[in-house]
């Protein structure tokens, strides 16, 4: 792996794109200080120019140089959760240019825990801009095979790192405007953030910064998908005349063309979710029906991804 890491660093320093594993999903990496490299990243992703990207580092001290200041809350959360699946949005320093932030006065920073990501970042010695390694708005990749299937020759190198352990994107906490706000739920729950900070944390606020995963439709399969409450699933299956794929907790129904049964543990569900959506998307069905998971706090991140995958407003 050391030889592959060295090759990846070489590619990044030459302005090329390298996909690499993190504990959340695979990222498509570019040198965050290189405008041309980041422009190519946006072009390959087909990402809107005003949609910021998260910058990844090997350590908190290096990450915080990209912020004008690191308030006490940021340092507390970094000490508790970094390396790990947490992104902090802070006021940007001069190192974070408009082409990274979408023209906003803040920047998203993260220190991932995956050993391959850590070695790459430490060897590179700077910030790597790395949104998920797939076309914008579609299902995120959790294996190197997913990256190759999505991006093909548009990515210069793909580092192998096995299936992503968490399986969904990082929790995003905005600290750029004083009070902390959770902008995107993830494995690290709002309750975990509150426990670390010793105070309540909001999940909603007015005029929040543009951020990764903030659009109403995101993480979406190409096949139209709908969330269906468990008590309506049988009726929906009976009503539809098209070929139907189903993602549910219960055992398969013989009337359904393609059925995937999901675990009842939220962490296991999250780990399997994107691979499951990709599998259903390849089943040549006209509709995907997804059984709504429980509304308990531990399911918040999964429910957020499912609502956005279906284009259903998060309420």
Residues near 249 by beta carbon (within 8 Å), at least 6 away in sequence:
230, 261, 262, 264, 291, 293
Residue 94: CB atoms within 10 Å: 8
Mean pLDDT over 265-291 rounds to: 96
**What does the pLDDT read at residue 313?**
45
Min mean pLDDT across 26-40, 108-122, 173-187 is at: 173-187
Within a domain: 214: no
On whether residue 211 sits in a domain, the answer given is: no
pLDDT of residue 31: 98
pLDDT of residue 311: 84
Mean pLDDT of 234-243: 86
Q: pTM here?
A: 0.94
* Plot region of 11 (φ>0 → left; ψ -120 to 50 → alpha; else → beta): alpha
Domain that holds residue 270: 225-309
CA triplet 216, 217, 219: central angle to 5 degrees? 125
Count of domains observed in the chain: 2
Is 106 contained in some domain?
yes
- DSSP letters spanning 234-284: HHHHHH--S-EEEEESS---TT-SEEEE--SSHHHHHHHHHHHHHHHHTS-
Q: Is residue 178 part of a domain?
A: yes
pLDDT tops 90 at residue 28: yes
Same domain (yes/no): 164, 232: no
Per DSSP, helices labelled H in the chain are 2-13, 35-45, 60-64, 72-81, 98-101, 115-124, 144-151, 190-197, 230-239, 266-281, 300-309
Residue 219 lies in a domain: no
For residues 265 and 275, is the Cβ–Cβ distance under 8 A?
no
- CB count within 10 Å of CB 235 equals 10
94 shares its domain with 174: yes
Q: Determine the average pLDDT of the residues in 14-43.
A: 98
Q: Are residues 141 and 42 in the same domain?
A: yes
The residues pairing with 157 across neighbouring beta strands, listed in sequence order, are 18
User: Could you tell me if 192 and 287 lie in one domain?
Assistant: no
We report the CATH number of the domain holding residue 241 as 3.40.50.11030
Residues pairing with 260 in the sheet: 247
Percent pLDDT > 90 in the chain is 83
Q: What is the pLDDT of residues 104-142, one digit of tens each?
A: 999 999 999 999 999 999 999 999 999 999 999 899 999
Question: Dihedral of the CA atoms 99, 100, 102, 106 (nearest 10)?
Answer: -130
CA distance 11 to 159: 12
Sequence-separated (6 or more) residues with CB below 8 Å from residue 157: 4, 7, 8, 11, 16, 17, 18, 19
148 assigned to some structural domain: yes
242 domain-assigned: yes
The answer to whether residue 212 sits within a structural domain is no
Domain boundary among the residues 197, 214, 243 is at 197
What does the pLDDT read at residue 6?
A: 98
pLDDT band at 215 (very low <50, low <70, confident <90, very high): low
């Amino acid at each position: 792996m050391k030889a592959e890491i060295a090759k990846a660093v070489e590619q990044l320093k030459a302005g090329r794109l390298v996909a690499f594993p993190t504990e959340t999903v695979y990222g498509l990496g570019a040198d965050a200080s290189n405008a041309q490299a980041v422009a190519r990243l946006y072009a390959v992703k087909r990402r809107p120019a005003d949609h910021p990207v998260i910058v990844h580092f090997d350590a908190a001290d290096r990450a915080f140089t990209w912020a004008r200041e690191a308030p006490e809350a940021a340092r507390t959360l970094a000490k508790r959760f970094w390396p790990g699946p947490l992104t902090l949005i802070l006021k940007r320093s001069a190192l974070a240019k408009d082409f990274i932030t979408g023209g906003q006065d803040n920047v998203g920073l993260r220190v991932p825990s995956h050993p391959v990501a850590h070695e790459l970042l430490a060897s590179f010695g700077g910030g790597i801009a790395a949104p998920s390694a797939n076309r914008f708005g579609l299902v995120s990749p959790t294996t190197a095979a997913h990256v190759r299937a999505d991006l093909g020759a548009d990515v210069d190198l793909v580092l192998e790192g096995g299936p992503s352990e968490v399986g969904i994107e990082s929790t995003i906490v905005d600290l750029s405007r004083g009070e902390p706000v959770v902008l995107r739920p993830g494995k690290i729950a709002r309750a975990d953030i509150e426990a670390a900070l010793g105070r309540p944390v909001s999940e909603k606020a007015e005029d929040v910064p543009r951020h990764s995963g903030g659009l109403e439709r995101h993480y979406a399969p190409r096949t139209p998908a709908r969330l269906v409450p468990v008590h309506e699933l049988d009726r929906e299956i009976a009503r539809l005349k098209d070929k139907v794929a189903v993602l549910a907790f219960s055992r398969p129904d013989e009337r359904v063309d393609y059925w995937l049964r999901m675990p009842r543990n939220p962490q296991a569900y999250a780990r399997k979710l994107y691979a499951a959506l990709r599998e259903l998307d390849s089943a040549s069905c006209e509709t995907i029906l997804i059984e709504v998971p429980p509304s308990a706090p531990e399911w918040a991140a999964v429910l957020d991804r499912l609502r956005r995958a279906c284009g259903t407003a998060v309420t």
